[in-house]
Structure 1
Amino acid sequence: MRNLTGSGEVLSEDDLLALYEPPADSSAGFVRFNFVMTADGGATHRGVSGDIGGPADKQMFQLLRRFAHVLLMGAGTVRAEGYEGDVLSLEDKSWRSQRGLSEYLRVALISGSLHLDPQDKFFQQSPTVPLIYTSESSSPDQRAKLSDVAEIVLAGKDRVEPQLVVQDLLQRGYSMIHSEGGPTVLGEFQQANLVDSLCVTLAPKTAGPGEKRIGGDAGNTATNELRDMQLHHVLKQDGELVLEYRK
């Protein structure tokens, strides 16, 4: 990848990791989201994002996990994208171990409905006990079923409140919070002003009408606010542009 915000130099893997290093003092929390989208703004193609990105996106997708204390996602993303088992490679684990980070990355889900199957491979093959953030209005029966395979945390009365999720994660010592979506989760965290870093790969493809955008579908737009972010860098590989914005 070339750094277009620098002198156009080709970056090594170590260079990329240095570029994406979180702030030195992130004890108050650093919430990063990573997305890929098409040139016409689509975050999905036929409901999933996996076939949008090219080699640059896939490289950054994996590298960014190395910094994380916890991987936060919406339950719908886990179902749609087929997450299961260990999310780190052996190389990732070695890199993390050398920096005092756990070799296993805990996954935290956000689910208001708890439409999750405890027998799913995501739970059965997970090397750590996942966290599930849900609301007090969720089904007590589903909570009981899922409590055998996950730790259930109530984070809101009628809906999951992003502020309460971040507060709980920080209390557990997870200050570097990394999320891979989906769009609904990003939209809710944007509205709560809790996005510190937004990483976006712009793929040289178009998806056509009807696909989701990375911040979710139109909801109550009257409550939306324009929030300024600073361009941290622009990278390029073949036709892909790899961007990071920080608060």
Structure 2
Amino acid sequence: MQQLISPFGTPQDDVESLEALAAVYAYPEQVEHGRGWLRANMVSGLDGAARLAGLSEGLSGDADKRIFGVLRALADVVLVGAETVRAEGYRPARARADFAAARAAAGQAPAPAIAIVSRSLTLDLAAPLFTEPLVRTVVITTEDSPAEARKAVAELADVVVAGEGSVDLPAAVAALADRGWTRQLTEGGPRLLAQLAADGLLDELCLSLAPLLSGGDAPRILQGPQMPAAQRMRLVSLIEQKGFLFTRYLRQAGSAPDSP
């Protein structure tokens, strides 16, 4: 894995090691002072497709999965939409021995919690995500979600109520930070990511660009209504491996959906 642009100024010839990747993708200092930082990790093809044959898995590769694992190992919580949980067959995040000491020193749990955004609460409560997590799964829903379903979910997961009719994402993200989960990671899907970006909550985007063209009607990494204004991003890291490009973008200072 060759680094072409580095957040530290001088690119490295090889950032293959977990230690090197952890340094490249380290969370900023703000999280040490209680401010939540939300980064997204997504993959797309050259034509913008966020899925191949209905799943993101088809766009991935070994290096992408390596970075995926590092980003999870650095995070306190992984925020994900219920549709993506169902489609991708989500399982609990696992503890990684290579990061155990660093997580303990930072006061983190052995693995990040999974936080699912779901208005309908149509979830498979027999899945490992609810029966085998190292850290209890969180479900974020609305005040008017089905009462019986919410009761059933509460037996196996922590329930966070945010908003009515639709999930209030600013309140949801704040609730996660209030738990001390300031190192936040979202893996989408595209609808959730579009809503987070439109609400001005996205601090960072880690985008893996696969050297593939697929066409079809696959969604983009953001799939939702037009944002009020474009949000400018700043490229701080670029890594190449076998035609894959791994980018890290930070939100441009002063840029938000209501300020182009």
Query: TM-score with structure 1 length normalisation?
Result: 0.93
> Residue 168 and residue 100 in structure 1: after superposition, are their counterparts in 2 closer, same or farther (change >3 A)?
closer
Structure 1, unaligned stretches of length 5 or more?
Answer: none
Residue of structure 1 in register with 2:258 after alignment: none
Structure 2 unaligned spans of 5+: 252-260
Query: Is residue 194–residue 222 contact of structure 2 (8 Å, CA) maintained in 1?
Result: yes
SS in 1 for 2:239: strand
Deviations 1:141-196 (A, max 9, x none): 11011111111111101100110111111111111111111111110000001111
Indicate how the Cα distance of structure 1 residues 86 and 68 shifts in structure 2: closer, same or farther if over 3 A, else same.
closer
| 8 Å CA contact 2:114, 2:137 repeated in 1 | yes
Partner of 1:4: 4
**Structure 2 residue aligned with 1:18:** 23
Q: Look up the match of 1:110.
A: 117
- The percent of aligned pairs where both chains have the same amino acid is 32
Indicate the SS of the match to 1:66: helix
Instruction: Pick closer, same or farther for the CA change 1:8–1:84 going to 2, 3 Å.
Output: closer
Q: Partner of 1:227 in structure 2? A: 231
3-state SS of paired residue (2:26): coil
Report how far residue 98 of structure 1 moved. 4.4
The CA RMSD measured in Å over matched residues stands at: 1.6
After TM superposition, where is structure 1 displaced by more than 6 Å over at least 4 residues in a row?
none
Give the residue type in structure 1 aligned to 2:4: L
1:238 matched residue in structure 2: 242
Number of equivalenced pairs: 244
TM-score, structure 2 normalization: 0.88
Residue type matched to 1:121 in 2?
A: P
Q: Deviations over 1:61-98 (max 9, x none)?
A: 00011211111111111111112244333333344234
- Counterpart residue identity of residue 165, structure 1: A
1:178 to 185, 191, 211: 185
1:155 aligns with 2:159: no
Deviation sequence 1:92-132 (CA, Å, 0-9, x none): 33442344322132111100111112222221122222111
Matched, 1:188 2:195: yes
Counterparts in 2 of 1:94-173, with a 5 A limit?
A: 94-173=101-180
Match of 2:37 in 1: 30
| Match among 62, 65, 72 for residue 79 of structure 2 | 72
SS in 2 for 1:97: helix
